[in-house]
Amino acid sequence: MGKDLFTEIRVKYNTLSKNQKQVANYILEHRSKCVRMTLSELGKACGLSETTIIRFINKLEYTSYQDFRLDMAQDLSRSSVAEDGATARCYDEIRPGDDTETIKEKVIAIASSAIMDIGKLIDRQTLDQAIRWLEEARRIMFFGAGGSGVIATDVYHKFLRCGMHVINENNTHIALIHAAQLTKEDLLVLISHEGESKEVLECCRLAQNNGARVLGMTSYMNSDLARMADLCIFSSTNDSTYYSDAMVSRLVQLVIMDMLFIAISTRQDASQKALETSRLATREMKLHPQEEEGRG
């Protein structure tokens, strides 16, 4: 049985060149048509040379176009996807003029497919190592720039409820100071979609100078963060003009962070007790329905 080719394309999408992404986009949007195409026909349909197509399949670790097309046929058969079906549109572009129902279907399909791809993105060994580092750390600092800062704050809040010594800072200057004070007993978790944010990379450098471990999360396997981090978890996704890979990546990053949080909170008695204490601490701040009615 061939490998899951369409998943493989999505997983490696951000490692492709501009022309190779053009091939990937065409294949993902015209699956059942591409499976019947020769190498020459696919090149013409994409407006690219046969050499570019060969480089594309080589990037997916194929040496033969026939083997590539065979796996594409098997993957298409297994998923039983018709080209006009909702699942086939998981990476169909959201276009101006799409009606509300079409937009709804495309957004759901893109997000669902990206989450399902997590199984291919992360192996158990990487996940286990990340969990072990989180458990062993004396202090854990979470930091992300821009939109990734929202993810860092969310995961900080989760681990704070577990009773762990965690740090989160949105102010870049203060974040750099925190990073510079981390030691070999600490862990820095950096979140960056493209993995090239200067403040993120500087936090990485400062923390590693003092021996702190760095766990990175990015969509780009060939990014500076991926190269610098001691361990990296990838949230690679496809690209769309109106529903960018950064937007989808944030959904994937939240799911991955939930995996780490739940793994730790369910296997440590101290974490479970801390979660209950945190719940009780905020319970009185939440109004009961009867109280809300009384204030009306």
Query: Is pLDDT larger for residue 126 or for residue 113?
Result: 126
CA–CA dist 68, 5 (Å, integer): 8
Q: Name the nearest CA neighbour of 114 among 23, 26, 18, 14.
A: 14
Tell me the pLDDT of the chain averaged across its residues.
84
Q: Is the pLDDT of residue 177 over 50?
A: yes
Interval 177-189 mean pLDDT? 97
Of 75-79, 262-266, 267-271, the poorest mean pLDDT is in 267-271
Interval 40-64 mean pLDDT? 95
Q: Is the pLDDT of residue 42 over 50?
A: yes
Q: Is the pLDDT of residue 96 over 90?
A: no
CA–CA dist 213, 137 (Å, integer): 9
> What does the buried/exposed string (b/e) look like for 130-168 if buried means 16 or more CB atoms within 10 Å of the residue's CB?
bbebbeebebbbbbbbebbbebbbbbbebbbbbbbebbb
Interval 182-201 mean pLDDT? 95
Q: Give the number of other Cβ atoms within 10 Å of residue 285's Cβ.
A: 6
pLDDT band of residue 244 (cuts 50, 70, 90) is low
In Å, the largest CA–CA distance within the chain is 73
**Could you tell me how far CA 202 lies from the centroid of its own chain?**
22
For residues 226 and 216, is the Cβ–Cβ distance under 8 A? yes
What pTM value is reported for the model?
Answer: 0.76
Of 79-88, 117-126, 230-239, the poorest mean pLDDT is in 79-88
Q: Which residues contact 181 (CB under 8 A, 6 or more apart)?
A: 210
Q: Is the pLDDT of residue 159 over 50?
A: yes
CA–CA dist 111, 249 (Å, integer): 9
Report pLDDT for 292.
Answer: 53
Determine what percent of the chain is predicted with pLDDT higher than 90: 52
Report pLDDT for 288.
Answer: 59
Q: Is the pLDDT of residue 2 over 60?
A: no
DSSP assignments along the chain, one per residue? ----HHHHHHHTGGGS-HHHHHHHHHHHHSHHHHTT--HHHHHHHHTS-HHHHHHHHHHTT-S-HHHHHHHHHHHHHHHT--TTSTGGGGGPPP-TT--HHHHHHHHHHHHHHHHHTHHHH--HHHHHHHHHHHHH-SSEEEEE-TTHHHHHHHHHHHHHHTT--EEE--SHHHHHHHHHT--TT-EEEEE-SSS--HHHHHHHHHHHHTT-EEEEEES-TTSHHHHHSSEEEE------SSS-HHHHHHHHHHHHHHHHHHHHHHH-HHHHHHHHHHHHHHHTTSPPHHHHHHT-
Q: Is the pLDDT of residue 136 over 90?
A: yes
Q: Name the nearest CA neighbour of 158 among 266, 6, 69, 17.
A: 266
For residues 24 and 68, is the Cβ–Cβ distance under 8 A? no
Q: Is the pLDDT of residue 271 over 80?
A: no
Q: Is the pLDDT of residue 87 over 60?
A: no
